[in-house]
A and B are shown apart, each in its own frame.
Chain A
């Protein structure tokens, strides 16, 4: 068996060992154990990436998929079976690198951040479980394998959000995250059923091959059978996308992500910023040929949902006051960018620019967003609060974090030459060539992004004086917390220089992307304007922002209340599902169904009580009945014989 299996196996072993024996025997060693296994996975991933991209990945100038591990796990029918395996192709290798790298950084960071936590070993075992599941997801060869690990990342996310289980808000948030994504997974599952039924296979390679070949009977069948006027193929692809939208917090399934910030901050960095939340993007990218070649309508849905979510989240991010929630909405917005980049892309060659840009943005975003969260963790660790009003003037106390945060903000704002610039620029180019409306919304959103990010930056590190009451006795944190920040800061600056198009494209053929500075001027100008606005409003302690907010009045308040989406959900779940479905069901069962059974019981009882009176045992009564009966029979006989 290929040594690649170790990438998955090592974190899994660490999960089992820390989970079973961590609390009792390993204690602090659990952190070291987990970190070591992730380090090993990272090293194997790097060597794999090197080998794939530079040695043996290309056949005739084109990257092709490799299947080093593949075995049958569960056979449904001779055609349909779940295989578990490892798929090596450009995007899975890229994701292996991202997941193991960010996971490693977060593992190291947590050594300091979670120190002294009572359930330290449990924390690391959950972290290992997540890493294992996420890696299993990205290397999936089979759409059911994706689903399996999809559920597993969901549960590890649930466990980690609810890590501080004695906090009711954490418990509620973990439940919400699981249930909302589960609801979306229902779509995914239905999508799998539809797609696999018509393609006759659960393997990605078969599904893609059979649905992209216009002469294949599978494609014909999937297009010709329709439900409510929409073809089965479109249904399948849109349903699968709903699953992806749930995981990737796309509107309207995003409600769980801001609440998920209840989890420990390193977890937010790993799961809710860099890796798990991009699983939806990855899923669409995995099936991209089918979307692009056979069902552009479904791809258009992806684009519209993506661009809407990105603008929607950016607007809300401008008003939030919880540092992690701002970052959460910014994550949602950036994932929206990745989604619509896929949505506007075509398949192959220059038309596939959007695909490449989306993957590129996924890559750079993972680095700078993880950095932002780790910095936020350090800040929260320092001031013991998530609210920006408790922060301000922290530049002096947290010098390294300050620089790192600034670099990450520049990267996410798309200022050259930081990494976000390159990926975002390519996304905008792709959008420009496909759909002007999407392009304009995206450009404005990019401007908003720099505004809210620098609002955050200035509010934390500049505006006002450092609040000495909240000042913590520990400094900027241990070296294990600082080292990942520094490494990620370098990444945020430099990752954009990677010639990404050479490695990851929609069809495996290298794509030379070049920056067109004339085109870039507008986005750069808008982003810079955003920063200037942020400087004007938030650099110094003043009430300009409040004045502006009050001018907007109800618009501001509705944005701050997150456009009441949570309230709508609450209405639907509490009022409709609980009160109008579940409660009547329980009542019906208790009173009607069971009542019916009980009535039968009662009726039998009454009947037997009544009839038992006849069995009185009194001889006189019996003889009276006998006499009466005889008389009746006699009269009937006489009547019958017409004698009466």
Chain B
């Protein structure tokens, strides 16, 4: 299968949107584009499963490479393994759901859908890149449109949030760039260039690793809300329009996690091992501290944004632990959190659109007037607090079990601290849903509100289906990603065998 299709289709879609006439045509094109993309991703998954049989563990397939700036040894080099397939599927689902919930965007519809589609192209490109420069390019493609999406279609203090988000993410990318150049100039052979696979096969000297690992890890970490560089998350998410929040939390934050894993930990396992205590410490702080901060939020979007900080901490925790199970858990958590948080933002968006408030204390009794939306909100909440049957449970438990394999006291304590978040999460989820969904209707105006429309129902159903598939039959996703993590672990094992 030609992976270029994954980038070309969104680009063509956004081009078509640009030339479309009416608002209706615009959104039909966007929907069709996203739907076809999802189908293509499904085919990709099937093909992948067919071709990966009999291959070596975690080998990249559907690889292709063509020179881009040959003088600098930069190639347009793409390929996928199970982990990228999982992320690509996540992107397709979240984008489709995002387009469905934005069905009624009135302001500059054409531009809105175009930017959204363009963003998705950046994400797809990032996940299939096997060349660091390519990857960086797509990472930037996935940042810039967000600035516009928040600045134009946002709410609240949107200019401030858009600036903050763009600047902090750009700062992150700058660190990534430094790290990449460091690897580039320190590689042994001239021809290696930015090629991920070539870089992997050589052992980078420890001194080089120790210098450049923090750049790459923190740089990508900013995207996935590493403490203390997470403050763009609450402001950015809460100002963004619904679909952008979904994209931001569902996919953008995963770009960071994927980068930490695929670039930082994969290429520099010795440094990852060296710094692992710091990563784990920061992750444990993010998990617990994020959860406590969530408890005090009164705005639903802020609540979910802080809870994203806490949940993305599990991704970093898993990566920091450097055991195969924990890394599997990190990937599971990326997919799970992507779906769940998108669902959460979708539900909050639906509530906000009707009640024009996101303040928990002003809501109340919504279950009576909008049972569907309330149920969706509640399901997202249950997934967030890690109820078995939903994806969150599978991911968190895998991280916990994997983390427990590290026997040193520091790691054990961090794991227990991370475990404690399951209680705190339950507190804030039940508080929020108890106050906003249950009880009596506080505002008389709410009594005439209507429940979800077809497009909202479709979006929610799509995301819930994803959550349930992973939650009920986790072996599907687990089997998909395990070869990929094994491949990453091969490099890590190199250290343990040396010791």
Contacts and interface: CB of A to CB of B under 8 A. Distances in A.
Interface of A: 72-77, 80, 144, 147-149, 151-152, 155, 162, 165-166, 168, 171-172, 174-175, 178-179, 182-183, 185-186, 189-190, 193, 196-197, 578, 581-583, 585-586, 589, 593-594, 596-597, 601
Give the one of B168, B293, B386 with max A CB within 10 A: B293
Closest 6 CB pairs of A and B: A586-B296, A148-B388, A585-B292, A165-B438, A594-B231, A582-B295
Interface stretch (B65-73, B99-107, B400-408): B400-408
Contacts of A147: 388
A211 to B, nearest CB: 17
Contact of B422 (A80, A155, A182, A193): A182
Given A165-B367, A166-B368, A175-B434, A589 B439 contact: no
A76 B387 contact: no
B422 A189 contact: yes
B478 A75 contact: yes
Contact of A76 (B168, B295, B398): B398
A76 B365 CA distance: 41
B401 A582 contact: no
A166 B366 CA distance: 10
Interface in B388-435: 388-389, 393-394, 397-398, 400-402, 404-405, 415-416, 419-420, 422-423, 426-427, 430-431, 434
Contacts of A593: 227-228, 230-231
Contact of B434 (A144, A171, A197): A171
A76 B227 CA distance: 28
10 contacts: A73-B475, A75-B478, A77-B405, A148-B389, A162-B438, A171-B439, A186-B423, A585-B292, A585-B293, A589-B231
B423 A183 contact: yes
Contacts of A193: 400-401, 404, 415, 419
Given A171-B434, A596-B228, A152 B389 contact: yes
B401 A76 contact: yes
B297 interface: yes
A259 to B, nearest CB: 14
B422 A74 contact: no
A75 B401 CA distance: 11
B464 to A, nearest CB: 12
B295 A578 contact: yes
A12 to B, nearest CB: 10
Contact of B394 (A74, A178, A183, A586): A74
B292 to A, nearest CB: 4
B440 interface: yes
A421 B440 CA distance: 47
A190 B427 contact: no
Contact of A166 (B401, B405, B423, B439): B439
Contacts of A171: 434, 438-439
A24 B384 CA distance: 28
B217 interface: no
B489 to A, nearest CB: 11
Contacts, number: 121
Contact of A178 (B295, B367, B398, B430): B430
B12 interface: no
B155 to A, nearest CB: 19
A381 B297 CA distance: 41
A155 B382 CA distance: 9
Given A151-B388, A190-B416, A193-B401, A77 B325 contact: yes
Contacts of B328: 76
Interface in B215-236: 227-231
Contact of B296 (A152, A178, A197, A583): A583
A186 B394 CA distance: 16
Interface string B283-295: 0000001001101
Nearest to B228: A593
Contacts of B420: 186
A138 to B, nearest CB: 16
Given A581-B292, A586-B297, A76 B325 contact: yes
A151 B423 CA distance: 12
B42 interface: no
A585 B296 contact: yes
Contacts of A589: 231, 289, 293, 306
A155 B474 CA distance: 20
B404 A197 contact: yes
A594 B430 CA distance: 27
A189 B416 CA distance: 10
A585 B292 CA distance: 6
A534 to B, nearest CB: 39
B455 to A, nearest CB: 20
B419 A186 contact: yes
Interface in B357-397: 365, 367-368, 382, 385-389, 393-394, 397
Contacts of B292: 581-582, 585-586
A216 to B, nearest CB: 19
B256 interface: no
Interface in B280-329: 289, 292-293, 295-297, 306, 324-325, 328
Contact of A601 (B167, B325, B394): B167
Given A165-B439, A589-B293, A74 B474 contact: yes
B438 A586 contact: no
B365 A166 contact: yes
A75 B167 CA distance: 41
Given A183-B423, A585-B293, A73 B474 contact: yes
B476 to A, nearest CB: 10
Contacts of A174: 430, 434
A196 B397 CA distance: 13
Given A186-B419, A597-B168, A77 B324 contact: yes
A37 B405 CA distance: 43
Nearest to B365: A166
Nearest to A166: B440
Nearest to B388: A148
Given A76-B401, A77-B324, A175 B431 contact: yes
